[in-house]
Structure 1
Amino acid sequence: MAEAAAADAFAERAWAVAYRLLSQVPLADLTHTDLDRLAVAAYLVGEDGEAVAAWEHAYKRHTCAAEQAEAARCAFWAAFCLMMRGQMAHAGGWLRRGQSVLGHDLDCPARGYLLIPAVLAALDSDDADGARRLAVQAGDIAGRFRDADLAAFSTLGHGQALLAMGDEAGGLARLDEVMLAVCSGEVGPIASGIVYCAVILECLQLFDLARAAEWTAALDEWCRAQPDVVPYRGQCSVHQSQLQQAAGDWAGAVATVADARNRLSDPPHPALGLACYQEGELCRVRGDLKAAADAYREATRAGYEPMPGFALLELQRGDATSAAVSIGRALREAGQPFRRPGLLAAAVEIRVAVSDVTGATEAAAELVSIADHSSSPVLRAMAAHAMGAALLASGQTTDAMVQLREASATWQRLSMPYETARSAVLLGLGCAASGDSASAALEFGNARSIFESLGAGPDLRRADRLAGGHVGRGPLSVRELEVLALVAEGRTSRAIASSLRISQHTVRRHLENTFAKLGVTSRAAAVVYAYEHDLL
């Protein structure tokens, strides 16, 4: 019989076979158990409409048999499937059906399942404590009935709520707890996929790349063991691409996100916008600015704001003013805490470019404050790099070098080559501002080698210039450039005056003119500007 063969296929997680066999049998002829198997298999192979139809049929059958608890459970899963498709009105209708058939007195797992959408709604409305209370309530129900899927959903929601409340240690402990249940096979396939993706996303938002990489590898293994699974592969691939990019495997990251975008496009998945943004980021750092702009545009169409990448793209295009306006607007609107670190890091880079040293310092200070309350070494390195850039722009070279060396050491320890090279560029500028041209050349050379191996075109061209490429005069006179070149060698005003056979007063006047023309206030800042703009 088809049903018996389908049961065997279901047990072996051969979802396509189970779906094919069960879909050949009229719904009216399927048992309650086979209807549930059909719905689960249909969802896992991407046949969402058939999954909803199976749960709807099961709901009606349970309702007619006065089996309210089972009817409410089917209503939840139908609503869940519709929510994943973005059909929120239909999903809301099914949730109300489930609540109605359940009534007020019946104690069963379905009552806990019907709390889960309320947990998500509370999280979306920034009511973290409300989400926590609802998740704990659902967890209590799961414990009484030993329902593993409900326990997974409630523990996940509890962890997300604690993270939103600022309890990073408590939140991560809940996420690790639910992942242990998933990896040990205690949780059903649909709930497992949801938990995998949600936990990985939380880890990435916390900049906990080590934990994200560990769980992404587990998800990849889980998907490989079930080649028929459709819903989670796309989002899994986006996260995998982000981690590949951080580790320096840019070619792999490009291929992975292209596969993710294809999987998420038809029908459009909520993670499609993130995939487009990741594609844009890879295009931007490799220097394909047109492709980056196109990808960011597609991300916007899919409902994902392409920040901070779009602002950095404007900076690379040479429109630093527009970049500053864009990043400022994004920061003002960024209500979700996890959005701020990336925006702040970009704000420092952009504000330094427009000589807004005060704004850059403020953004770096906020990023340092966030990192101080986090256990993420990535976040701490981001903060150190940003503060080093701001201090360097303000002429506080020694303090800047301390921050930048801390950032560089962390990037190297985490095996993040692109970030290592970016910090090396700033270290080179700091060495140049201190008159240590030999060390500056060493840092620029190291950065250049990494950028070349990654294919980071724009950064490579900048490193080439800094390492001794084209030199221009810019707004400075020949004499002002001569004075500035001697400053870059670390000479005092007395030594410069002696070398050029002019008075110290004239040296000071040339420096004042140079500061005014370059928009800086110190010798160190002038040297940094000169290196960045090909004047030395």
Structure 2
Amino acid sequence: MSAPVTHTATAADGTTTTGSADVVERAREAAGRESWAEVYALLHAHDRHPSRALTADDLSVLADAAWWSGHVDESVTARLRAHAAFLAAGDHRGAGLASWWLHFEYRGLGRPAAASGWLHRARHHLADLPPCPEQCFLAWTDAEEAEQHGDRAAALAAVHRMTRLALRSGSPDLLALSRQAEAAVLLADGRRAQALALLDDAMCAVSAGELTGMFTGWLYCLALTQCMEAADLGRAVEWTNAAMEWCAPPWSGRSTTDAAAGPAAPPAPLPMTVPSGENPFRGVCRAHRVEVLDLLGAWEPAEAEARLACREVPVDCLESAAAAYYAAGDVQRRQGRLDAAAVSYAHAHELGRIPQPGLALLRLAQGRADAAVAGVELALACQSDPRHDLLGRARLLAARTEVALAVRDVAGATEAAADLEAMAADVPLLRAMADTAAGAVALASHGAALPPLRRALAGWLELRVPYEAAQVRMLLAAACRAAGDEEAARLELGAARAVFERLGAVPDARRAAALLSGGKRRRLPGGLTAREVEVLRLVAAGGTNRDIAHALAISEHTVGRHLNNIFAKLGVGSRAAATAYAYAHDLV
């Protein structure tokens, strides 16, 4: 996120008048309190008079204040002027820092050529100087570039250089940032325990209020991204809550009471700006909160938060808006609102995110199995380095397992489940996903499904992830019935149905209800088969052919064939008549 950093202020030069000096001093004092709206009002008005020159340091303060106040273009303009003033004064440290921030802001604004040019200037200004704090930012950039090229040794060397410079500077901001940067490299290298220890260290400084607002927001956003990619749900929950608390109080300029509104599609993507006086980090932190709420089964607030996040994220963080759209699509898909989900996934795609595996599972629900298989396989093939996003890859593999089983590709499902098992290790979220996939494959191949499914259920319950736990209960019910334990199957189905109904997962609730009712009678009326009774119950519950296909994991064509057989056997000609028959014969 393009968060500028303030250069240390110096005394005003002799060109300012007494009254002007008072305004500048008040602005500097407000900057010390991080009262950025006040700083912007003072310096912006002061700077409109050509006779009232601002020093290079004061122009840097104005750039910071403009950024915090939502005036990104003015921030860049002020920093360009600050760079020129530092250069004219022969201050290469100041010019180097201004150049690095211009590189970072231009990159965020989608101007890579300008960003590259300013990075080159930053290197030119800072390269030959003795060790100084400003060189931390160059070391950080070196680490990112090395990581992108797969040179992990060079990345580690760069972050170690960054840490040495941060320690030498005595800056809590730079030291916490260097810890986070090293954690990112170590996570990508598979050194999870060491990485998370460093990340915890950095976040201690955040939670203790030791950092400036810019670095606090920056570290929240970076750490939350790392937690989700590393499948560390516990840390993601804890730090998302803390981030939202930090974002809200000082910048409560606009009411968010619409978060309580009922389900609705998020707004279509538009150029996004942060209104003056609001915390620019809030939209990004809220987008992370949407992902956490989605996992925890708080679907209604998740969708409402997604709408807010899509309006709040700044223009250089559209990937966060894409994540919010995607999460909203997942909620809508599982609630059976397939058209709304398709729109949300399309918005996420417009903003640069591949909407998988959600889109593949949507296609499966729509009876388009070939599209589901192609979508999830292409997404897996497009992952350049899966180690950067363990949770993303795990979700793709879990979906690949589900889709393969739906099309009776047991070999493909077995391969995907094995890949998921290989990466799960002792990470609780990944472990639960791997056990779920293993149990589903064992059930489909008539193997020992109960042990992995019971481990999966325990894992999901411990993580407090209700939807996946209920899905596992459905698999457990099938395994229990296959083992002849009808009572255990009914207990699992009843528990799953209750969770689905609470979440609003309508198709799953209907499927659970149909399966739960299936054990009531052994002799079926009208010569109906057990599968035809399942279809009839879903018809009686108001399900469309598409709903029934999704609930029973069959194609809409197969649903139509079952309905024709049902109508013929019962001597009826409409869904309404079939529903009446179902009620009359106690089939619902």
TM class by smaller structure: 0.7 to 0.9
Q: Which residue in the other structure is 2:429 paired with? A: 378
1:278 counterpart (314, 318, 327): 327
Aligned equivalents of 2:422, 2:383: Cα separation in 1: 16
The alpha-carbon deviation at position 174 of structure 1 amounts to 1.5
2:445 corresponds to 1:394: yes
Aligned equivalents of 1:43, 1:128: Cα separation in 2: 33
Deviations 1:396-433 (A, max 9, x none): 1xx21111111111211222111111111111111111
Q: Which amino acid aligns with 1:252?
A: P
SS in 2 for 1:248: coil
Q: Which moved more, 1:86-95 or 1:158-167?
A: 86-95
The alpha-carbon deviation at position 434 of structure 1 amounts to 1.2
Instruction: Mark the CA change 1:267 to 1:174 in structure 2 (over 3 Å): closer, same or farther.
Output: closer
User: Retained in 2: the 8 A contact 1:444–1:467?
Assistant: yes
Percent identity between matched residues is 37
2:254 corresponds to 1:254: no
Deviations 1:374-413 (A, max 9, x none): x4211111111111111001111xx211111111112112
Deviations 1:16-66 (A, max 9, x none): 222122211218622444323222222222222122222222211111111
Q: Which residue in the other structure is 1:184 paired with? A: 208
User: Retained in 2: the 8 A contact 1:371–1:380?
Assistant: yes
Q: Map 1:188-337; keep pairs closer than 5 Å.
A: 188-227=212-251, 228-264=277-313, 269-337=318-386
Q: Which amino acid aligns with 1:172?
A: L
Moved over 4 A (4+): 265-268, 478-482
SS in 1 for 2:461: helix
Q: Which moved more, 1:38-47 or 1:202-211?
A: 38-47
Q: Which moved more, 1:76-85 or 1:215-224?
A: 76-85
2:65 corresponds to 1:44: no
Q: Which moved more, 1:243-252 or 1:329-338?
A: 329-338
Q: Which residue in the other structure is 1:528 paired with? A: none
State how many pairs are aligned: 477
The alpha-carbon deviation at position 345 of structure 1 amounts to 0.7
User: Retained in 1: the 8 A contact 2:108–2:317?
Assistant: no
1:35 counterpart (59, 62, 67): 59
SS in 1 for 2:313: helix
Instruction: Mark the CA change 1:129 to 1:44 in structure 2 (over 3 Å): closer, same or farther.
Output: farther
Q: Which moved more, 1:314-323 or 1:104-113?
A: 104-113
2:447 corresponds to 1:412: no
Instruction: Mark the CA change 1:464 to 1:336 in structure 2 (over 3 Å): closer, same or farther.
Output: farther
SS in 2 for 1:25: helix
Instruction: Mark the CA change 1:160 to 1:267 in structure 2 (over 3 Å): closer, same or farther.
Output: closer
2:396 counterpart (333, 343, 350): 343
The alpha-carbon deviation at position 207 of structure 1 amounts to 1.2
Q: Which amino acid aligns with 2:474?
A: V
Q: Which residue in the other structure is 1:428 paired with? A: 477
Aligned equivalents of 1:433, 1:246: Cα separation in 2: 30
The alpha-carbon deviation at position 479 of structure 1 amounts to 11
Aligned equivalents of 1:455, 1:110: Cα separation in 2: 52
Q: Which residue in the other structure is 1:466 paired with? A: 515
Q: Which amino acid aligns with 1:152?
A: A
1:358 counterpart (411, 420, 423): 411
2:129 corresponds to 1:110: no
**TM-score normalised by length of structure 1:** 0.84
Q: Which moved more, 1:339-348 or 1:101-110?
A: 101-110
Q: Which moved more, 1:448-457 or 1:190-199?
A: 190-199
**TM-score normalised by length of structure 2:** 0.77
The alpha-carbon deviation at position 442 of structure 1 amounts to 1.6
Q: Which amino acid aligns with 1:141?
A: L
Aligned equivalents of 1:480, 1:267: Cα separation in 2: 57
Q: Map 1:62-81; keep pairs closer than 5 Å.
A: 62-81=86-105
Superposed CA RMSD: 2.6
Aligned equivalents of 1:364, 1:180: Cα separation in 2: 37
2:169 corresponds to 1:169: no
Q: Which residue in the other structure is 1:437 paired with? A: 486
Instruction: Mark the CA change 1:229 to 1:138 in structure 2 (over 3 Å): closer, same or farther.
Output: farther
SS in 2 for 1:24: helix
